[in-house]
Structure 1
Amino acid sequence: MSTPAATLGFTKMHGLGNDFVVIDGVRQQVDLSPAQVRAIADRHFGVGCDQLLLIEAPRRDDADFTYRIFNADGGEVEHCGNGARCAARFVHDQGLSEKTSLMFDTLGGLIRPQLLADGEVRVDMGIPCFEPARIPFDAPAEALDYTIELAGGPVRVAALAIGNPHAVLRVDDVATAPVATLGPQLGGHTRFPRRVNVGFLQVLGQNEGRLRVYERGVGETLACGTGACAAFVAGYRWGMFGPTATLHLAGGALRLAWAGPDTPVFLTGPAVTVFEGTLRQ
Structure 2
Amino acid sequence: MTMLRFTKGHGTGNDFVLVSDPEGLLDLTPARRAALADRRFGVGADGVIRAVRSQSIPEGRALLASDPDAEWFMDYSNSDGSVSEMCGNGIRVFARFLLDQGLVELAPGRSIPIGTRAGVIEVHRLADGFAADLGRWRLDGGEPLVRARELPVARPGLGINVGNPHVVVALASDDELEALDLGVAPVLDPPAAAGANVEFVVPADPLVVDGIGRIRMRVHERGSGETLSCGTGAVAAALAVRYWAGASAPSEWRVTVPGGVLGVRMFAAEDGEHVALSGPAELVFEGEIAL
Identify the TM-score tier after normalising by the shorter chain: 0.7 to 0.9
Q: Is the 2:159–2:166 Cα contact (8 Å) retained in structure 1?
A: yes
Structure having the larger proportion of residues in strand? 2
Residue type matched to 2:51 in 1?
I
Tell me, in whole angstroms, the C-alpha distance in 1 between the residues paired with 2:90 and 2:274.
Answer: 18
Report the 3-state secondary structure (helix = DSSP H, G, I; strand = E; otherwise coil) of the residue aligned with 1:105. strand
Q: Give CA deviations for 1:157-180 in whole Å, capped at 9, x if unaligned.
A: 110111110000111234533542
Q: Verify: 1:148 aligned to 2:145, yes or no.
A: yes
Indicate the residue corresponding to 2:17 in structure 1: 21
Task: State the partner residue of 1:136.
Answer: none
- Superposed CA RMSD in Å reads 2.2
TM-score w.r.t. length of structure 2:
0.84
- The one-letter code matched in structure 1 to 2:138 is C
Partner residue of 1:143?
Answer: none
Measured in 1, the distance between the counterparts of 2:174 and 2:31 equals 34
Structure-2 residue corresponding to 1:273: 283
CA contact 1:201–1:211 (8 Å) conserved in 2: yes
Q: Normalised by the size of structure 1, how large is the TM-score?
A: 0.87
Name the SS for the 2:98 alignment partner: helix
Deviation at 1:150, TM superposition (A): 4.6
- Relative distance call for 1:109 and 1:236 in structure 2 (3 A) is same
Shift in Å at residue 236 of structure 1? 1.1
Q: How many residues align?
A: 263
How many Å separate the matches in 2 of 1:9 and 1:38? 16
Q: Deviations over 1:88-116 (max 9, x none)?
A: 11111111011341111111111111111
CA distance in 2 between counterparts of 1:42 and 1:268 reads 28
Identity of aligned residues (%): 35
Partner of 2:50: 54
Query: In 1, are the aligned partners of 2:24 and 2:52 still within 8 Å (CA)?
Result: no
1:130 to 126, 139, 142: 139
Q: Determine the structure 2 residue equivalent to 1:250.
A: 258
Give CA deviations for 1:233-270 in whole Å, capped at 9, x if unaligned: 11111126411010110000001101369211111100
CA contact 2:122–2:132 (8 Å) conserved in 1: yes
Deviation at 1:191, TM superposition (A): 2.7
Structure 2: unaligned runs, 5 residues or longer: 55-60
SS in 2 for 1:90: helix
Secondary structure, aligned partner of 1:263: strand
**Is the CA contact (8 Å cut-off) linking 1:64 and 1:102 kept in structure 2?**
no
Counterpart Cα distance in 2 of 1:36 and 1:167:
29
Give, in whole Å, the separation in 2 of the partners of 1:193 and 1:69: 20
Offset at 1:279? 2.0
Unaligned runs of 5+ in 1: 133-138, 140-145
Are the counterparts in 1 of residues 5 and 19 from structure 2 also a CA contact under 8 Å?
yes
- Which residue of the partner structure matches residue 216 of structure 2? 210
